[in-house]
Amino acid sequence: MTKVHAGRIAVVALVLAAPATSLAQDGGFEPPRTKWGDPDLRGHYLPGPYQALETPTSEWAPPEGANQGQGAAFSRFFEPDPDAPARPTPARPDGPMIIDPPSGQVPFQPWATEQRNEIMARQDQLEHLDPRVKCLPAAFPRAHLPVGYNTYQIEQGPGFILMLYEWNHHSRYIPLDDSPHIDPAIRLGMGDSRGRWEGNTLVVDTTNFTDNTWPVGHGAPPEGAPGSALSTGHGVFHSDQLHVIERFTFIDANTIQYTATIEDADVFSQPWTLRYNALQRAADDHMLFEYACHEGNGRNLSLMTGIDVEAARVHPIP
Partner 1 sequence: MLLAGALVCGAVAHTSAQTYDGPRTADGRPDLGGIWQVLGSAAWDLEAHNAQDGIPAGLSVVDGGTIPYRPAAATARDANRVNRLTDDPVRKCFLPGVPRVTYMPWPFRIVQTPDHVVLSYEFAHTVRIVYTDGSPHPLPNDFWLGDSRGHWEGDTLVVDTTHFNGQTWLDAAGNHHSNELHVVERYTPMTEYHLDYEVTLEDPRTYTRPWTMRMPIYKRMEPGLRLLDYDCVDHLLDALSEAEGGAR
- Contact region for partner 1 (CB under 8 A) — 13-21, 73-81, 112-120, 284-292? 284-292
Q: 238 vs 56, 140, 268, CA distance in Å?
A: 21, 11, 8
Alpha-carbon dihedral of residues 221, 304, 188, 113, nearest 10 degrees? -60
Q: What is the sign of the dihedral through the CA atoms of 215, 219, 221 and 227?
A: positive
Kindly tell me which residue out of 212, 228, 241, 300 binds partner 1, with binding defined by CB under 8 A.
212
Yes or no: say if 132 and 214 are a contact pair by the CB < 8 Å rule.
yes
Sorted by sequence, the CB contacts under 8 Å of residue 78 that are 6+ apart come out as none
* Contact range with partner 1 by CB under 8 A, out of 45-53, 140-148, 149-157, 242-250: 149-157
Task: Select 114 or 310, whichever has its Cβ closest to partner 1.
Answer: 310
**Residue 182 binds partner 1 (CB under 8 A):** yes
Choose, by CB under 8 A, the member of 18, 66, 265, 309 that binds partner 1: 309
Asked whether position 294 contacts partner 1 by CB under 8 A, the answer is: yes
| Binding residue for partner 1, selected from 12, 28, 289, 303, defined by CB under 8 A | 289
Q: What residues numbered 30-49 form the site for partner 1, per CB under 8 A?
A: 35, 42
Query: Residue 255: which of 49, 35, 37 has the closest Cα?
Result: 49
3-state SS assignment for residue 171: strand
Residue pair 141/53 in contact (Cβ under 8 Å)? The answer is no
Q: Report d(CA 69, CA 47) in Å as an integer.
A: 10
Number of residues that bind partner 1 (CB under 8 A): 48
Site string for partner 1, 117-146 (x = CB under 8 A): ---------xx------xxxx---------
Residue 174 Cβ vs partner 1, minimum distance, rounded to whole Å: 11
Closest CA to 260 of 132, 140, 168: 140
Q: Using the rule CB under 8 A, is 317 a contact of partner 1?
A: yes
Residues in contact with partner 1 by CB under 8 A are: 35, 42, 126-127, 134-137, 153, 155-157, 160, 162, 164, 168-171, 173, 179, 182, 186-190, 192, 212, 287-290, 292-295, 298, 307, 309-310, 312-318
